[in-house]
């Protein structure tokens, strides 16, 4: 989705920009700029938010690069805990600093929500837990799991990290397309570069192989064949989508790697390279590199994942975290690796259980306090590498999965949040700006709601109540 599709001039920016201008005075530092500054998009990304956050951190037009990717199995060096991770405490009066607790409690018991409702709200500026309604109770998070995946990937790999796909020559007339775990891969330029390299070697008749060994474990998610996720493989083109779409459910190739290799072979032929036979699985290790394709920066991939709730990116990035952690690049390895990184940076994980990177697995468990602390960490001055977590959040009534929610609400443009929906599960976690200029990180979760639409509306009202506090 581009800025032209969502006219940013329509965003109710009065309170938003006032907060940005006065953030230093109220101690919000980076948080207000990263959360509240809505600006033009470039290639689907809110670049103004990212640039403002970077400037507030005394860096250039993009966030400062995160730490270099560690050797496999090594976690990044621990940093001093950010202010947002101080022990939770109530305000001096004992009352929450967010919307009145009694009002939120009443709303948490509304008929539209399920039999289990939990929530937590954190004041980003000082880390106080200002509202707690079973906040340490872990339940199915659905797609808000992607917040955990995003934080782990950015923290471990850094925002400038790219996913690399290569073409190598393993014999006089054999090329292998080696997947690097990039579900957004597009092949035309890679094929053109490969053809040019082959012609320079006077090798115009080749066989084509493809290597998917970068990932391991089962290809199929426990949900099985599903329009929300392609089989998870290290080699695929455009997420295996067969309808030309870039987001949302779509019919998927059931052999994404084979389909990608066939398309690559066809493109080589169009560039004057004769391809003998059909592409077959092969190993590319030790081959001479002919061409390389690098994905967009990880910061952009994270923003896309969160804005569009992109399940394919969620699973791919969890596996990237696993590889960087020295663990198998599989569903279980990614789940373990994400948990390890979050513990290392001090995010509380009461009752947490990870089983995938996208949140499609009903067995995942996260608590509201975990989600709220993840968002507060992303706003912390000591973690500029995590800023894309905030800039990637859908904006109420304007972008991504919130484009059709909060229409006509006072929270339109102010609530930035990731949503999650599975059968019997509805969740929302994000940030908002209060009437007096505070930035709050919140998470509200419900299980067993009889009607998903009614549950979403009730959750939206909870977030809206925070903007009026």
Catalytic residue among 146, 299, 418, 469: 146
Alpha carbons 371 and 377: distance in angstroms, whole number: 10
The counts of H helices and E strands in the chain are: 13, 13
- Token pair, residue 434, equals 């209060």
Neighbours of 226 (CB within 10 A): 15
Q: For residue 143, indicate whether it is catalytic.
A: yes
The separation between CA 190 and the C-alpha centre of its own chain, rounded to angstroms, equals: 26
Whether the CB-CB separation of 181 and 316 falls below 8 Å is answered with yes
Alpha carbons 153 and 331: distance in angstroms, whole number: 15
Q: For residue 146, indicate whether it is catalytic.
A: yes
Neighbours of 4 (CB within 10 A): 9
Alpha carbons 16 and 164: distance in angstroms, whole number: 38
Whether the CB-CB separation of 109 and 119 falls below 8 Å is answered with no
Alpha carbons 36 and 19: distance in angstroms, whole number: 8
Backbone angles phi, psi at 262, to 5 degrees: -65, -40
Catalytic residue among 23, 295, 299, 309: 309
Catalytic residue among 23, 143, 330, 469: 143
Whether the CB-CB separation of 127 and 382 falls below 8 Å is answered with no
Q: For residue 276, indicate whether it is catalytic.
A: no
- Token pair, residue 25, equals 């005075």
Residues 6+ apart with CB under 8 A from 286: 170
User: What sign does the dihedral 43-262-313-67 (CA atoms) show?
Assistant: negative
Backbone angles phi, psi at 184, to 5 degrees: -95, 10
- Show which residues are catalytic: 143, 146, 309
């Amino acid at each position: 989705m581009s800025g032209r599709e969502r006219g940013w001039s329509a965003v109710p920016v009065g309170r938003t920009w006032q907060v940005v201008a006065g953030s230093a005075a109220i101690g919000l530092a980076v948080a207000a700029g990263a959360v509240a500054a809505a600006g033009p998009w470039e290639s689907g990304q809110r670049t103004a938010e990212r640039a403002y956050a970077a400037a507030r951190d005394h860096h250039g037009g993009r966030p400062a690069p995160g730490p270099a990717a560690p050797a496999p199995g090594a976690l990044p060096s621990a940093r001093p805990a950010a202010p947002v991770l101080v022990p939770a405490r109530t305000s001096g009066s004992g009352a929450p600093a967010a919307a009145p607790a009694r009002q939120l409690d009443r709303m948490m018991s509304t008929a539209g929500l399920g039999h289990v409702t939990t929530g937590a709200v954190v004041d980003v500026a000082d880390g106080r837990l200002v509202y707690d309604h079973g906040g340490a109770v872990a339940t199915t998070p659905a797609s808000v799991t992607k917040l955990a995946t995003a934080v782990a990937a950015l923290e471990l790999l850094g925002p400038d990290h790219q996913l690399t796909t290569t073409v190598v020559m393993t014999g006089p007339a054999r090329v292998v397309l080696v997947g690097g775990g990039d579900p957004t891969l597009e092949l035309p330029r890679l094929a053109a570069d490969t053809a040019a390299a082959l012609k320079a070697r006077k090798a115009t008749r080749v066989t084509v192989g493809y290597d998917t060994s970068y990932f391991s474990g089962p290809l199929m998610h426990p949900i099985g064949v599903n329009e929300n996720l392609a089989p998870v493989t290290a080699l695929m083109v455009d997420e295996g989508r067969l309808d030309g779409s870039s987001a949302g459910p779509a019919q998927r190739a059931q052999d994404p790697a084979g389909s990608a290799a066939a398309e690559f072979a066809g493109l080589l032929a169009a560039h004057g390279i004769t391809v003998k036979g059909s592409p077959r699985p092969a190993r590319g290790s030790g081959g001479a590199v002919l061409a390389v394709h690098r994905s967009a920066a990880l910061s952009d991939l994270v923003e896309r994942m969160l804005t569009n709730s992109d399940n394919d990116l969620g699973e791919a990035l969890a596996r990237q975290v696993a590889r960087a952690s020295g663990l198998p690049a599989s569903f279980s390895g990614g789940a373990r690796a994400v948990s390890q990184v979050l513990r290392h940076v001090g995010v509380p994980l009461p009752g947490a259980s990870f089983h995938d990177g996208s949140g499609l697995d009903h067995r995942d468990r996260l608590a509201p306090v975990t989600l709220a602390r993840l968002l507060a960490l992303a706003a912390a001055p000591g973690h500029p590498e995590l800023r894309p977590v905030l800039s990637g959040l859908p904006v109420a009534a304007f972008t991504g999965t919130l484009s059709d929610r909060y229409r006509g609400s006072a929270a339109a443009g102010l609530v930035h949040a990731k949503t999650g929906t599975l059968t019997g599960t509805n969740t929302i976690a994000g940030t908002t700006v209060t009437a007096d200029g505070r930035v709050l990180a919140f998470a509200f979760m419900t299980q067993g709601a009889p009607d998903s639409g009614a549950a979403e509306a009730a959750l939206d009202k909870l977030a809206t109540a925070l903007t009026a506090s």
